[in-house]
A and B are shown apart, each in its own frame.
Chain A
């Protein structure tokens, strides 16, 4: 029986269900000290003085370090010239929460006391909180030496005006994709132990080799003396591939104190210091015919990077521009972007990273075209879809060639499961009934770019390369260990690759164990990000297993005195086709592989080990059609998602249970962005207003619906599995479906657009335009 495609329960679960897993903060080696960072209280200021005397007098405080102590170390890797980020704020703070000093104490309570007792003298500078403020002519500059708050401007090479004018209609839309906090439930943490053998650091991170490469270079130590372990990691969602200064500083604190030093963020620290996501503004214009065909699309993206330019943050608007046209055949597309720095937490990858923003823009545009033409939004989508016989499809950007898909089928399956016609009927019948909620129906048909693996695709973000590695070792008893370069943290990759290897090798699932997340045991790895695990490390596992099996078959054939091509392998044994009973167990083949006297002469002992760095010729392009029905309480403006239909095409599905879990989690984050979440600041002071989970509204179980899931499968032609990846799909496809539904519910009031998050007050104001209260 094939395990690929089966609902296999996870290998990961027993430890996690019994409290036996090991997250970083669970580690407590002998003599371990605790580090805590001193956050800036000001959004933008010169640091005049840091008084640590009172902190140092507290019993149990081991030391306090400031920027001056790190003067011999370079800026953090990946910055841009003139905008580098030092390990601790040096001279100037650029956002409220930026670390400016670090305390090491005997425990976390004493460390917190010490942090609270440190007095910092500031001289405030004028602040820049928004994109508009950053770009104004007399804007205060975060980096005076750079001469501007804008950077990396890719201008519009625009010849669309003539085409726009030739269209029956054109319409513009400005929209905001608001700043979100990532909020993995485990915050960021690490434990560094730098002893005579070198540095070992346990870090809550999605890419341990990536961190090892950068830290060893930064500390100027050989990689043999720099071991990074990502143990159990409590969610990452993109924020744990960022080179946070805490990871660079903590090893030095261990070295300087001669003790293991642990750092583990409080939630408030995480809200301010872990990178945020999204935060783009879009200026969009579309030209279209009265029959709903879209002729031209212009997109200008401005990315708020926060206080420093994180390398993945810089990539966000690039990906947004790449995916601007979605799954539509738009003959003329022009895109541009620019980035700005502001006095806010740096922005980097958050589940979807640039693609949710693109999808949101184009799906809002398509609904706007439907509104202006009076044509049903489903029909407008159908009019403009790339058809299933048009792949590979070259987009407006030469880097992006869609490989496969079937958008018409996705949408028709979605409308069927949504029961579209009867929901429209319900919408009509409820609208004027004061006791009934307003009903809105919204769709999002989307395509994303995933499977980050083509050579060059991750190097731009500072990674070593873009392949992913798998290494398989057969033990003398015929069990197998699989070492993978991915660093999963909830995705279930351990189960997934064991399913693939079990199928290919004929070794039972239970006899395969999977090792990851440790630079001392995994030969090299890139990491878990960009919906790449199944396409990349899954494919690496499949191909490496096949190669290893060829040699195993030679041994089995030798032992059985049979022809290799007559052998079949399953249930931990090799047997000869047509000769039942003539078989040899995997355990005996494995044993023979270590015994030269039993091997065919051309093979050497230890031959049953294989490693592969799997490359990919193209990205993968997961797609889907999501539809939702929302209800708005007419009195309060509260939105409830009543029905959510999710049709995904992620190519080959390895484990439907885990694939569904990935979609659910992504959709939950997407609905959260659409309805609840926004990282907000007080504009006059730059102080964060949503710095804990009281004020920042992460939804819990009563806030979210059940999902109706379906599937269309067009295999990915670019990898041996045919898999496209599914980690980010839900977060990419769902926000526009929800917002389109809310705007649809309010259509009779003339509302064409509302920015996220669609909190009750915003909806209520939209429904009651005459009742606006004076702003305080």
Chain B
């Protein structure tokens, strides 16, 4: 067992975990933040996407020990001026960017990272930035519209 300290959404979580413990399981089962989901075993689906030191990573492909002493943002850490929701979250609500909602936390984190890096992405850039996130419900067009909504209505406007 190894002692791991991870700052998740501004709060320090300290747990002794096996070295093989995945970051996603640390988040879900040790920190008990279950908004981050697991949808595959091969880092293809992106449901587990979180921000690790501001960068989007698939938390099923990072060991908890690798994130020791770093900071993580999960869907529970998003907030903003839209009734408490961030522009990306509100964009998904306005444009029906989610149906069953299972892939959504990972999508939101990937979109958040995209807009941080590129506040006015083209449709092409949005689609390619989300290449690593699979949604089985929406067919993606409404996710693209959601990101465009967020880009138009982001907090800097």
Contacts and interface: CB of A to CB of B under 8 A. Distances in A.
Nearest to B75: A19
B4 interface: no
Prevailing SS type, chain A contact patch? loop
B108 to A, nearest CB: 7
A183 B35 contact: no
B150 interface: no
Contacts of B101: 12-13, 15-17, 21, 232, 234, 490
B37 A234 contact: yes
B96 interface: yes
B56 interface: no
A623 to B, nearest CB: 20
A13 B136 contact: no
Interface in B24-58: 25, 28-29, 32-42, 44-45, 47
A14 B93 contact: yes
B41 A266 contact: yes
B103 interface: yes
B20 interface: yes
Interface in A678-707: 692-694, 698, 700-702, 704-707
Contact of A693 (B44, B74, B85, B135): B44
A653 to B, nearest CB: 14
B76 to A, nearest CB: 5
Interface in A1-51: 9-10, 12-23, 25-26, 28
Range class of the A interface residue count: 35 or more
B16 interface: no
Nearest to B38: A25
B100 interface: yes
Given A18-B75, A490-B99, A184 B41 contact: no
Contacts of B127: 701-702
A12 B101 CA distance: 9
Contacts of A665: 99, 136-139
Interface residues of B, number: 58
B28 to A, nearest CB: 8
A706 B136 CA distance: 16
A28 B138 contact: no
A99 to B, nearest CB: 18
A334 to B, nearest CB: 36
A494 to B, nearest CB: 12
Contacts of B32: 28
A492 interface: yes
A288 to B, nearest CB: 35
B41 A668 contact: no
Contact of B126 (A26, A183, A267, A701): A701
Contacts of A535: none
A583 B86 CA distance: 41
Contacts of A13: 92-93, 98, 101
A139 interface: no
Given A20-B35, A183-B136, A657 B42 contact: no
Contacts of B105: 19
A102 interface: no
Interface in B103-135: 103-105, 108, 123, 126-128, 130-135
B134 A186 contact: no
A19 B33 contact: yes
Contacts of A268: 41
A322 interface: no
Interface in A35-86: none
A109 interface: yes
B37 A186 contact: yes
Given A26-B34, A661-B142, A700-B132, A492 B75 contact: no
Given A185-B47, A186-B39, A665-B138, A235 B102 contact: yes
A185 B45 contact: yes
A114 interface: no
8 contacts: A20-B35, A25-B34, A28-B29, A185-B47, A490-B101, A490-B137, A692-B42, A693-B45
